[in-house]
Amino acid sequence: MQRIVLITTGGTIEKTYDERTGELANRRSQVDRMLQELRLEGVAVEVVELMSKDSLEMTDDDRARVVAAVRQAEADDADHTLAGIVVLHGTDTLTSTGRRLHDELGQPKVAVVLTGAMRPFEMKRSDALQNLTESLFASRLLAPGVYCVSHGRTLPFPGVAKDRELGTFVAVET
Q: What positions carry a catalytic annotation? A: 12
What region, left, alpha or beta, does residue 98 occupy, with left being phi > 0 and alpha being psi -120 to 50 degrees?
A: alpha
Identify which of 125, 130, 166, 171 has the alpha carbon closest to the alpha carbon of residue 151: 130
| CA separation for the pair 80, 118 (Å, rounded) | 34
| CA separation for the pair 32, 30 (Å, rounded) | 6
